[in-house]
Structure 1
Amino acid sequence: MNFKTFAVSICVAAAVLPGALAAQEREFGVGLITPPVHVWNQEVAAMGETLGSLSDGRFSVTAFPSGQLGSEGEMLQQLQTGALDMAWLTTAEVTTRIPDMSALHTPFLVRNIEDAARVLRSDEAREILEQMPRATGAVGICYAMTGMRQMMSREALESAADLDGKRFRITPAPPMRSFFEMMGAAPAPMPLTQVYDSLANGQIDAIAMDYESIINFGYHEHAPNLLQTNHQMFPMVALVSGRVWAGLSPEDQAILREAVQTHCDATIDRFVEGEAGKFETLKAVEGLNIIENVGMDFFGDVVAEWDAEWSEQTDYVERLRALVASF
């Protein structure tokens, strides 16, 4: 057998061997901190179906919900090493590595979820994603969101003065910490999975949370006071390990990007469409005291103070304020 015949034989054998076929297939593990019932998890499951369709069955997804793989910080480290393929993480976690992303958490940047969606789909927001590979070792495909942030407490909050000294659970992120510290509150960072019990035993006094999570976790059972503040939008960023991304062909990268983008968009649309209905669900909860339409004036000079401090760290605060003013 000459060399040419031998080479052809090897290629033909490789094409039919199970190992060669498996090399063309990929099961993507996706880490999340949210529970299976959450919209993010539902869209990750749907993303698996989309990937399978676009790749002729070569690609699939396995989700790891409820922080099974650790905190968001730990999952980000796993993305860097390639131990985790993908993750849907809050942008709050990324602010420690990309200060410009802090601008997405600007207090009262938007007053409704429709404008939040416009911001996350803007060129300005997408520019920030370009920093992801160098800063995190992961590729930022797109943003999604959960609902607007509201405040819930064990005891009624009738004025900004009532926030002083309150132990507020926050998502660990510098822009959020400084906002609550400026109000005199005591920020208490903790994983989502610990919030319910911490409210029940009095370890924390209050939380900043979206309607979806309030309903899913039943936080109103131990925090029966709700201020409808809409004080922050709460974005998510869909990440792919840089190592995993580099190992894909351009064609497969395009397939993955299309599938992820499709379900980022679907997630945003679902939250926009469902926000009002979720609020109506909470209004029907017996024993839940709600103060509606709590505006920026409730917080006095805190928002201006926050803007002044964070505008020194990133020009995206002013850029996003200008963008929203143009809506």
Structure 2
Amino acid sequence: MNFKTLIARTLPAALVALASTTGLASAKEFRLGLITPPPHIWTVAAQAFGEDLKAETDGKHSVAVFPSRQLGNEAQMMQLLQTGALDMAFLTIAEVSNRVPDFGAFYAPYMADDVAHAGRILRSDEAKAMLADLPQKAGVVGIGYSMAGLRQIVSRDPVTSAADLAGKKLRITPFEPIKDFYNAVGAASTPMPLPAVYDALANGQVDAIDMDAELIWKLKYYEHADTVLISNHMMFPMVGLVSARVWKDLSPEERETITRLMARHLDGAIDTYISKEADWLLAVEGTGTNIVEADASFFQDAIAQWEAIWSEKAPALATLRKVADETRQ
């Protein structure tokens, strides 16, 4: 079975078209995929990057942004990046960690004290150095990091302790670090794409969701919640990627321009979360939703179990923990 036949059988129709296009050498429009909807900060950053690239290259290069999983889920987009059928993507580090386990270290529970601290960890030299492994291990070039703030929990039922989550169907992003955390809590981890989450919470298909403050507020998940647990239990990083196959055909000048502009907008998205996350949480609280605050002691046993698993899976965990300690204020 040849590659195009395999793609046609396994991926959305939009990806078949991508796989059939001519190579980058003659292309003037890069294609960038991501899972977030158009109003999301990541999507806005991708569009701004494309506008800047077009302006700086006098129209020689531009970027077509495909939000909302138009090109498939993150695993599918990673596959397309590896083959060169997709040029660029903004992906959660979750998907990268499925291929390079060291990146699972970024999801260490309570490594970051708050969203600003998470930004300092992601901006550290040690975090940036980890990107050097991606071309060889994952077939992609890592340009830089961004994030979606810290994770919270929205529950249809009251939550006053971690024990209240035991046995609950809890929506997660499908990757091992967060799965291992909620398995340790005793919840029934339920992977689910973002577009399905609101209805699933509304109709009881899931009992709770793991989510960031931006979407809890903007997509009104609190409307179907008894409790919003402000736990800040885990950062949720993103990485800007370019296909290694595409990268090798770029000139040094093109690489420098793409790196500089994409990194600028990735970093700008971090600043946006730092400035807005507290306001989103205050807005949710203002709706009258029951707010419960939780620190590391709330999940003490689960954290110990997670650390036991990931200290062996991800040697970078020790390095990032040291960075976290050094960047506390």
TM-score for both structures, normalised by structure 1:
0.90
Q: Mapping of 1:49-128 within 5 angstroms?
A: 49-128=51-130
Question: What is the alpha-carbon distance in structure 1 between the residues aligned to residue 137 and residue 210 of structure 2?
Answer: 27
Question: What is the letter of the counterpart of residue 102 of structure 1?
Answer: G
Instruction: Tell me the residue number matched to 1:312.
Output: 312
Q: Provide TM-score, normalisation by structure 2.
A: 0.89
Assess if the C-alpha contact under 8 Å between 2:30 and 2:63 holds in 1. yes
1:301 aligns with 2:277: no
Matched residues in 1 for 2:160 and 2:76: separation? 38
How far apart are residue 25 of structure 1 and its match? 6.0
Q: Distance between the aligned counterparts of 1:307 and 1:54, measured in 2?
A: 45
Query: Is 124-133 or 108-117 further displaced after alignment?
Result: 124-133
Question: What's the CA shift for 1:129?
Answer: 1.0
CA distance in 2, matches of 1:300, 1:254: 45
Instruction: Out of 212-221 and 247-256, give the one that drifted further.
Output: 212-221
- What is the one-letter code of the residue matched to 2:313? Q
Kept in 2, the 8 Å contact 1:38–1:216? The answer is no
In 2, the alpha carbon distance for the partners of 1:74 and 1:24 equals 24
Displacement over 2 Å in runs of 4+: 22-25
Q: Which residue of 1 aligns with 2:8?
A: none
C-alpha separation in 2, matches of 1:194 and 1:280: 25
Pair 1:290-2:291 in alignment: yes
> Distance between the aligned counterparts of 2:175 and 2:236, measured in 1?
12
| Deviation, structure 1 residue 24 | 6.8
How far does residue 300 in structure 1 lie from its aligned partner after superposition? 2.7
Aligned Cα RMSD in Å?
A: 1.4
Deviates more, 1:260-269 or 1:124-133: 124-133
| Structure 1 unpaired stretches of 5+ | 1-21
3-state SS of the aligned residue for 1:108? coil
Residues 258-277 of structure 1 deviation map (CA, whole Å, 9 limit, x = unaligned): 11111011111111111111
SS in 1 for 2:259: helix
Which is worse superposed, 296-305 or 86-95?
296-305
1:26 maps to amino acid:
K
Compute the displacement of 1:290 (Å): 0.8
Shift of 1:45: 1.1
Q: Which residue of 1 aligns with 2:17?
A: none
Partner of 1:324: 324
Offset, 1:56: 2.1
8 Å CA contact 1:48, 1:60 repeated in 2? yes
Shift of 1:224: 3.5
TM superposition shift of 1:291: 1.3
Percent identity for Structure 1 against Structure 2: 48
Q: Matched residue of 2:109: which SS?
A: coil
* Distance in 2, Cα, partners of 1:207 & 1:79: 29
Q: How many residues align?
A: 304
2:233 maps to 231
Distance between the aligned counterparts of 1:24 and 1:259, measured in 2?
A: 22
Contact 1:168 1:208 in 2 (8 A): yes
Contact 2:154-2:225 within 8 A present in 1 as well: yes
Q: Is the alpha carbon distance of 1:159 and 1:78 closer, same or farther for their aligned partners in structure 2, counting shifts above 3 Å?
A: same
Question: Gapped runs of 5+ residues in structure 2?
Answer: 1-23
**Residues 196-211 of structure 1 aligned to structure 2 (within 5 Å):** 196-211=198-213
Distance 2:90 2:300 in 1: 34
Give 1 or 2 for the bigger CA radius of gyration. Answer: 1
Distance in structure 2 (CA, Å) of the matches to 1:23 and 1:195: 40
1: distance between equivalents of 2:256 and 2:162? 49
Distance in 1 of aligned mates of 2:31 and 2:216: 27
Q: Secondary structure at the match of 2:69?
A: coil
